[in-house]
Amino acid sequence: MATKNLIERIRALKKLTPSEAKMADFFARQYPETVFENVTSISHKTGVSKATVVRFISRLGYRRFSEFQEQLRRDVVLRLESPISRFSLKKKQLMAGEQDVLGQNFSYIMKNLQRTHEQIDPNTFMKVAQMIADTERDLYIMGQRVSYALGYLFQVFLRNLRPRTFLLDSQASMLPDLLVDVSDKDMLFVITLRRYARMSLKAAEHFFEQGATIILFTDSEFSPLSHLAHLQLVVPSDGLSTSRSFCATIALLESLIIAALQFCEDSIYNRFEEAEKLYKDFETFCPEKARIPGTAKSLKKQKRGQNRPLHKN
């Protein structure tokens, strides 16, 4: 890891000057926030000159300050893959920040929503919506771990709009049976967020080899599946908790469903009507008005009491 690498390099130095000792202590205490520092800010916060900062970085074996920063960034990414590391970082942020956890979390959510709106290319978004509404293809939806729950939600709503929409099982032993009939006429909508599941990659590779179309829904331009995707939607998932934030993710999936409606044929209404009949036959849902236990019985007793004739003394 880059941080361990950095510490080892510092320890390997036989002797540190007072200025170098200040910087070494600063790097150790401020990690992982050090990744956001530059030469000027390190100089200001440690009280040493910019030239001393550059010389110390060079003495540690980095050719340029940018190389030093890049290695730290890679290490931060690796550390944040681990829930326990995210817990340590997020707990530190909470303890150092305001007590309004609700407000902090909502702030993250709003930022993610805003970033999603700014980053998503409207043409790509509409093209994806049109493709998932295309009933000429079988549509497979896949996600592993938490992404499986997102895939399930997406499939439930999308199944109302089109036939032959399949959610791939999250059990690895079942996947070969489900993928055996995949062809170049099919389409895969794969949801994968950090930490990226290896099984999603293997399944996407199979679809790619069969010539099928792959739509990637992820949280990084550099997802391990990016090179396989024909179209890609990237949604930020930074959050306050130890896991990822899924509000922007769900909002984008919901928006795709809404956008796909305009590409659906009028026969969709027949599907809705048939579904409603089946819901009624199977008594799928509870009545809208909730019945409070004991209420009906109490009302009957009250009515009997009201209708009972009064006895004369």
- Rounded to two decimals, the pTM is 0.64
Task: Say if CB 8 and CB 32 are below 8 A apart.
Answer: no
Output the pLDDT for position 298.
56
- CATH number for position 264: 3.40.50.10490
Total domains in the fold of the chain: 2
Place of tokens 């997406």: 154
Q: pLDDT (tens digit, 0 to 9) for every residue of the chain, 313 residues total?
A: 444 567 677 778 878 898 998 888 788 667 666 777 889 999 999 999 999 999 999 998 888 888 888 777 766 655 555 555 555 555 555 555 556 778 878 888 898 899 899 889 999 999 999 999 999 999 999 999 889 999 999 999 898 888 899 999 888 788 888 899 999 999 999 999 887 889 999 999 999 999 999 999 998 877 889 889 999 999 987 766 656 788 999 999 999 999 999 888 877 788 888 888 998 999 888 877 766 666 555 555 565 656 555 555 4
Concatenating the DSSP letter of every residue in the chain gives: -HHHHHHHHHHHSS---HHHHHHHHHHHHHTTGGGG--HHHHHHHHT--HHHHHHHHHHTT-SSHHHHHHHHHHHHHHHHHSHHHHHHHHHHHHHHS-S-HHHHHHHHHHHHHHHHHHHS-HHHHHHHHHHHT-TTS-EEEEE-THHHHHHHHHHHHHTTT-S-EEEPPS-GGGHHHHHTT--TT-EEEEEE-SSPPHHHHHHHHHHHHTT-EEEEEES-TT-TTGGG-SEEEE-----SSSS---HHHHHHHHHHHHHHGGGS-TTHHHHHHHHHHHHHHTT-S--SSPPPTTHHHHHHHHHHHHHSPPPP-
The answer on 51 and 147 residing in a single domain is: no
The answer on 171 and 55 residing in a single domain is: no
The answer on 119 and 71 residing in a single domain is: no
The answer on 252 and 143 residing in a single domain is: yes
- CATH number for position 29: 1.10.10.10
Please give the Cα distance from 115 to 251 (Å, whole number): 12
Q: Is 224 domain-assigned?
A: yes
Output the pLDDT for position 2.
45
The answer on 70 and 173 residing in a single domain is: no
Q: Is 292 domain-assigned?
A: no
Q: Which of 53, 66, 61 is nearest to 24 (CA)?
A: 53
Q: Is 129 domain-assigned?
A: yes
Task: Say if CB 188 and CB 213 are below 8 A apart.
Answer: yes
Structural domain harbouring 59: 2-81
Q: Is 146 domain-assigned?
A: yes
Output the pLDDT for position 56.
92
